[in-house]
Amino acid sequence: MHDWAYFEEHFPMVLHALKRAKKAGTLSHAYLIVSTNADFRREFPLLLSCLAVCSSPAEDGAPCGKCVNCTKVLEDLYPDSHTLAPTSKAREIVIGKDAEDIDTLRWFEAQFHLSASGASGWKIGIVQEADTMNESAQNAFLKTLEEPPGKCLFLLTTGRASRLLPTVRSRCQILYLTDNKCEYDFPRWGDVPGILAELVAPCRQEERLVKAYDGAESLIGIASSLYQAASDEAQKEWESRLEQAQDLESAGKKLLEKRLEGATGSRYRRSREQFMSLIHTWCALLALRASGIPPEALPNREIAENMGDLPEKVGEKRAFKILDHAGVLLSSLRVNVNDELALRAFCLNASLKSGM
């Protein structure tokens, strides 16, 4: 598990603000932790719980991680902490019938009305993957978020903040743990940010279709150059072995050709993955900038350098919708959908639908 120091190193601004709130006694009663990293979503609520309940915090407010309270939290033994998570079958959090209906919102809320709070005085409620609460569960939870029973700390996590009702989001303080750091060294990667900026820039209604078309053509052009580049690289690396193979009998030649094919394939898959991640990362940066995160707090900020005032122009709501579309693109390509179709769908969605 990543510890407090790890998060402090990677998300200094977020943790600085939290420590300051702890020292000033102004911790919010509800935080929404937004991260595309599933480990962070699982781990950070525990560290945030430590921050609240630690009995011997450091001078700057950071939790010690060693006192009785911290230990209990980290070992998942803290008596006044309850976790609600989507059940494995439906991957959904529902309201439920009553307090006896385990793993439902009613059950979860009842824990805070029933149990008396212990030594630290805090009752902690963690809602993992809060976006899997269906709409009625979210609406029901609103009241608790508005008027928490006693000294409660609610910690919600999500990878897709835009799936939460705006009313739920607005009642939480949002913490962005953005770990989008991606690697890219495929041919023409430098063209991608410019193409995306052009694609999502606000424009007149009648120009949008043209933009979607142009954007798709450019991205497809890059995507299709990846295979050729991978093939060229593999050929080059295998050059001498192929030359020697001239003297081999046909079975030996065939085997070599097969291996070359394999080398080309794995290179291609790697650069294709990088290409898609770069699109997703750029969209994540756009959304984070639009939601007011300063550029210096962002990973991979080099690809967001030329965004200018685009994030403000696009706006937070639309930027997060675009990010959702990029997420769909990323996941659809992992299941081997036709690249060209997936890119066209993304461009249409990013320039048209999400603009409305």
Residues that bind Zn ion (CB under 5 A): 54, 63-64, 67, 70
User: Least distance from C-beta 57 to Zn ion, angstroms?
Assistant: 6
**DSSP class per residue in 248-278:** S-HHHHHHHHHHHHHHHHHHHHHHHHHHHHH
Taking the complex as a whole, how short is the minimal distance between the CB of residue 31 and Zn ion, in angstroms?
A: 19
Q: Please report how close the Cβ of residue 51 comes to Zn ion at its closest, in angstroms.
A: 9
CB 156 within 8 A of CB 33: yes
Q: Please, which residue, 54 or 140, has the CB nearer to Zn ion?
A: 54
Residue closer to Zn ion by CB (options 80, 109) is 80
- Cβ closest to Zn ion, residue 65 vs residue 315: 65
Structure tokens at 225: 């150059």
Residues 6+ apart with CB under 8 A from 21: 27, 28, 61
Greatest pairwise CA separation for the chain in angstroms: 83
What sign for the dihedral angle of Cα 146, 152, 153, 158? negative
Q: Cβ closer to Zn ion: 22 or 41? A: 22
CB of 38 to Zn ion, least distance (A): 26
Rounded CA-CA distance 346/327 in Å is 10
Token pair for 227:
């295979």
Are 34 and 138 a contacting pair, CB within 8 Å?
A: no
Judged by beta carbon, residue 63 or residue 96, the one nearer Zn ion is 63
Q: Nearer to Zn ion by C-beta: 64 or 256?
A: 64
Nearer to Zn ion, 64 or 142 (CB): 64
Q: Are 307 and 286 in contact (CB under 8 A)?
A: yes
User: What does the DSSP assignment read for 14-52?
Assistant: HHHHHHHHHHHT---SEEEEE-S-HHHHHHHHHHHHHHH
Question: Which is nearest to 162 in space by CA: 64, 291, 251?
Answer: 291
Q: Least separation, in Å, of the C-beta of 188 and Zn ion? A: 50
Q: Are 256 and 245 in contact (CB under 8 A)?
A: yes
CB of 71 to Zn ion, least distance (A): 8
Least Å from the CB of residue 28 to Zn ion = 20
